[in-house]
Structure 1
Amino acid sequence: MKIAFVGASGYGNVGDDTYPLVFAQQLPEHEVVVYNSDLPDRLPEDVGMVVIGGGGVLHNVGAEPEDAESPHLRCMKFYMDAAIERGIPWGFLSCGFQFQVHRDGAYAAALKPWVPYLKGASFITLRSRECVRIAGEISGRTDAEFYPDAAYLYRPALAADQNGSVTIVPAGLVNPRNVLINHYLRQFAASDAPVCWLSMGARVDDGWMLEEVATRFPEARIVECVSPEVAFRQISASRFVITGRYHGMVFARSSRVPFITPVDVPYKLRHEDYAVPMADAAGHFEVLRRIIRG
């Protein structure tokens, strides 16, 4: 079967760029085609299933007024409406809701335009129990399933390496101006630990931080514009990771590297259940295969 996956890959975010690699690895018996919000003229006629995901694509950020449709949602609707029109199965895989910082309480209004699609999807697998709760609350469905993020299944073939560095993945409070991060940096310097700032976000998000790192900490190594394999290699070879990005945490856990995140972190990091085995992420694809078998 030809399966169209619709997410946010191709814009420079390492986490989003990891999903197509996982989809191809997990579904070798199927033809995987990947789309994002750069819309095609139309989906190929032989697409047999549309999958929205993975990642935090369930949002309506930028809508004016709040309960209108954002440009992002209109792009996602293009694909969902195409699947509905053709009568082929479609749904959400390894997705998460995503809100602006400190706007979690307004999710019902912000997500209102998503409700008809959450009600009509053939399947829904989400990456946190909190996301499952919200999906049920706003759609009335009781069959949305939770599994850890699909990127936990990403396992590039890497030679054993240990560079001994502390890797900092900037985002949010993990930035060169933050008082606590500067406190950590003084401690690392006192123990002669090399520091690497690893950008896992798009240049539009991380650019100002990297420029400031280069000015404030000229001795630090900066790695940017990387592929998932390069990011995974850097994190897996580290002695310690400080990350403000969700997939910096995912790669650290996958690599069994100690890590910390800020206490005041965005929604998706705050609700991660570290007690659930990472291997349970395979459940997303068990659900998908069940749908394919009919």
Structure 2
Amino acid sequence: MPTVDRVLQAETGTEQTAVEPPARPDPEPIVSVVVPALNEAQNLPHVFARLPRVDEVILVDGGSTDDTVAVARRLRPDIRVVTQNRRGKGNALACGFAACTGDIIVMIDADGSTDPGEIPSFVEALRAGADFAKGSRFQPGGGSADITRLRRAGNKALSVLVNVLFGTSYSDLCYGYNAFWACHLDVFGLDSTSPAPEGADGRLWGDGFEIETLLNLRAARARLAIEEVPSFEHNRIHGVSNLNALTDGIRVLRTIAREWPRRRRDMSRPVAERAAR
């Protein structure tokens, strides 16, 4: 189709070109950042100082006994504070995601290990066409000051396993720095409303550190467009991590085992049915 209209001017007999107005640029997406925190009052000043301009910050408090909430509100009077309804990082993220009002949701840690200054790289990957921007410490430009040899080897082995079973090409399975378009939230099937079940630890599956693997596997199952973003993991600034390489590694293995049959069922569905999901 022509981009200009030729308009004959009867009075002068001349031809005038009427140029169409330029297309408006896409509006900036609204960015929400979710920060799960449990007794991170000492770390929040460092984390919030590195935050770029974002539209919404949601702190999910896990029942802190220090001044985490007060410090967060002092540093960012516009912050929204959500109290998680069960235990664990996964439940904190589920509660935070459910409270977001933005177009893009970014998840970072409150201990200073994930660099908030990298958020624009994740947003750019999404704006360039990705549905799910996945942080990787093992892409060129990424790295870690914190990961041990044991955790690195375990992460590598688990990544290879998932790549074989799920047809992915992940370089870093167990890393908690991700961003995604909010319209895909339902893909992850996270429960942010059920009360804590009776049992040994009072958690649903996905409420612990296995949440990072769960998000990656369900993004793959849903065939989201996934882009790995190089990221550098820093040492925790203050305090001690609750991560346990052995027990949390077992939970990751169990997550893979639980999600794999669902992946096979998805693949066995007719193409038309899969497209309709």
Q: Fold conserved (TM > 0.5)?
A: no
Q: Which has the higher helix share?
A: 1
Q: For the pair shown, which has the larger CA radius of gyration, 1 or 2?
A: 2
Normalization by structure 2: what TM-score? 0.23
Q: Which has the higher contact order (CA 8 A, sep 6+)?
A: 2
- TM-score between the two structures when normalised by the length of structure 1: 0.22
